Amino acid sequence: MRTAIERFIEYLRVERNASPLTLKSYEEDLIALVLYLEEVKGRSVKICEVTTLDLRGFIAELQQAGYAKATISRKLACLRSFFRFAVREGWVEANVAKPLRNPRTGRKLPHFLSAEEIAKLLESPPSSMASGLRDRAILETMYSSGLRVSELVGLSLEDIDFPGGLIRVRGKGRKERLSPLGSYAQKALKKWLTKRKPDPKGSKNDTQAVFLNRFGRRLTSRSVGRMLEKCLKQCGLDQRTSPHTLRHSFATHLLDRGADIRSVQELLGHKSLITTQIYTHVSTTRLREVYETAHPRAG
């Protein structure tokens, strides 16, 4: 079983070009399955011995442990992919994970900030310090282009096209897309780049990074989160706000102002339109609130 997992992870890395984070998650999920089976059966288990009933027991264990439904769905996707690969390799006759169904999850409406709150947040970093110019550029870029925080910290100098008003973004699955870069974000970036000082002893990955920490190395997603927390406290905004909230706000504001949903899908880099459609629910909810408040015969 462990040898099969090693082969599967190698397949994902070489043939599917999976990201390091995906490889790590899948390996951890499958090792957890192995440990569960060894504990239940009291011995090592061959891949050809695993049944759908075994996998149901594993999922039930996860549910009892309090794992979120979304996490369990991700683990199920891993199991289906692994046993599909096992069928291809001839290790098993059928994909025993195929009959398993994802737990039903109620979709929560994404938290977002109003245009006024966004403006307040973007103006919070102090322009008198290099770090403040960097933080302003980070916030402006995330909101302007609807970036995930991982996409933001992954930006390199060669990805910015100021004349074209575009940035090249490496999204999930290492897929690339071009995203617009508004005038405010361009202005903030240009100011930061005049103060940007990479560590001369750093790697090429660090020296080419757009956003650097105080040591001149590429900024991390965790650092962006801490910076945002600080800005939120300064301007008294909702502490539930995360870096992803700027992406939610980007999509919601575009749809509120009449943008086509398929265009928003392209801008966000969503593979499926279904993922983007949750923002139409946000817009509909807001419209209903406005109607209830403003219409004299609404209630």
Question: Residue 136's closest CA among 61, 218, 246?
Answer: 246
- Predicted confidence at residue 105, as pLDDT, reads 65
- Predicted confidence at residue 284, as pLDDT, reads 64
Q: Which CATH code for domain 115-293? A: 1.10.443.10
- Catalytic positions are 148, 172, 244, 247, 270, 279
What mean pLDDT is predicted for residues 241-260?
91
Among 116-130, 137-151, 230-244, 284-298, which is the least confidently predicted range?
284-298
User: How confident is the model over 39-49, as pLDDT tens digits?
Assistant: 888 899 999 99
- Predicted confidence at residue 165, as pLDDT, reads 95
User: How confident is the model over 73-85, as pLDDT tens digits?
Assistant: 999 999 999 999 9
Fold of domain 2-89: DNA polymerase; domain 1 (1.10.150)
What mean pLDDT is predicted for residues 102-115?
80
User: How confident is the model over 198-226, as pLDDT tens digits?
Assistant: 999 989 989 999 999 999 999 999 999 99
Domain boundaries, the chain: 2-89, 115-293
Question: Residue 143's closest CA among 86, 185, 178, 200?
Answer: 185
Give yes or no for residue 107 having a pLDDT over 70: no
DSSP state of 288: H
User: How confident is the model over 46-62, as pLDDT tens digits?
Assistant: 999 999 999 999 999 88
Angle formed at CA 227 by CA 221 and CA 228, multiple of 5 degrees: 90
- Predicted confidence at residue 294, as pLDDT, reads 72
- Predicted confidence at residue 299, as pLDDT, reads 57
Question: Residue 245's closest CA among 152, 147, 154?
Answer: 147
- Predicted confidence at residue 283, as pLDDT, reads 66
Please count the other Cβ atoms lying within 10 Å of the Cβ belonging to residue 63: 12
Give yes or no for residue 290 having a pLDDT over 80: no
